[in-house]
Amino acid sequence: MKAILAEFLGTFWLVLGGCGSAVLAAAFPEVGIGLHGVSLAFGLTVLTMAFAVGHISGGHFNPAVSVGLWAGGRFPVAKLPGYVLAQVLGGIAAGGVLYLIASGAPGFDVAKGFASNGYGAHSPGGYSLTAALVCEVVMTAFFLIIILGVTAPHAPKGFAPIAIGLALTLIHLISIPVTNTSVNPARSTGVAVFVGDWALDQLWLFWVAPIAGAVIGAMVHQFLGRGAND
C-alpha cells in the first residue's frame, strides 16, 4: 500500500506541476515561462518525486513506464493493475486541484484545452494523427531505453532521477508542438476528463501510443543488453 500511495502522490505531482505550469504560467503576462519552462517543469516533477519516493515504489508515475518495466523484466505483472490505477487516480486528482485553482481566475475557459493532448485541430502545431502517433511512440520508446539503462545494476548509483528528469524535459522540448506531449496515459487522462468532448475522443491515442512505445523501448533495451552484465 505504501508503494501504491507513492505512485499516486508521484503522479499527482507530475500532473499538477507539469500541466499546472502550462495552464497557469506558460503565457502569464510579461513573465510567462513558455515552452521551455513547461518542459523543465515536467522534468522537475519526475526528478523531485523520484528522489522523494522512488525508493518506495520505483518511481514510475506513468502507466506506460510500468508496462515498459514489466516488458523489460523489471516489474511483476501482478503489481501492474494497482500501479496503473493509482497513477490514473493521482492524475485525475491533480487535474481536479488544478481546475479549482485555474477556475478562480476571470476568463478561465476549460474548453481552451486545459493542457490536454491532441492531434489534428487540437495539436498545438496542427500535426496529423499519423505524426502524433509516431511522435508519441518514438518519444516513449526512448524514454524507456533511458529509464532501463540508468536503473540497470551496472549503471552509476544515485543519478537515475536526474537522467530521467532531463530525458522527460528533452522529450517535451521536442514534442510539445506536436501533441502537447503525453508519453504518459495518466497525465493525459488527468486533464482530459475535465475538458471532455474532443479531449476524451482523442484520449485513446495517448494510451495506445505510449504503451506501444514503452514495449518497443523495453525490447530494444533487452536486445542491447544481451550478453551484457545487466
In a domain, 70, yes or no: yes
- At residue 93, the pLDDT reads 98
CATH of the domain at 180: 1.20.1080.10
In a domain, 22, yes or no: yes
Q: Which residue has the cell 519552462?
A: 37
Number of domains, the chain: 1
Burial class from Cβ neighbours inside 10 Å (0-12, 13-18, 19+) for residue 27 reads exposed
Residue closest to 14 by CA, chosen among 75, 65, 61: 61
In a domain, 141, yes or no: yes
- At residue 227, the pLDDT reads 54
- At residue 107, the pLDDT reads 86
In a domain, 51, yes or no: yes
In a domain, 11, yes or no: yes
Q: Can you give the residue range of the structural domain that contains 141? A: 2-225
- At residue 97, the pLDDT reads 97
Q: Is the pTM of this model over 0.75?
A: yes
Q: Which residue has the cell 503489481?
A: 79
Q: How far is it, in rounded angstroms, from Cα 42 to Cα 25?
A: 13
Q: How far is it, in rounded angstroms, from Cα 66 to Cα 167?
A: 17
In a domain, 191, yes or no: yes
Helices (H), 30-159: 34-57, 63-71, 80-102, 129-150
Question: Rg of the Cα trace of the chain?
Answer: 17
In a domain, 230, yes or no: no
In a domain, 55, yes or no: yes
Residue closest to 173 by CA, chosen among 181, 163, 164: 181
Distances (CA, A) of 69 to 140, 145, 197, 214: 12, 10, 32, 8
Tell me how far the alpha carbon of residue 67 is from its chain's centroid.
13
Q: Could you list the pLDDT tens digit for every one of the 230 residues in the chain? A: 999 999 999 999 999 999 999 999 988 877 889 999 999 999 999 999 999 999 999 999 999 999 999 999 999 999 999 999 999 999 999 999 999 999 999 889 998 889 999 999 999 999 999 999 999 999 999 999 999 999 998 888 889 999 999 999 999 999 999 999 999 999 999 999 999 999 999 999 999 999 999 999 999 999 998 755 54
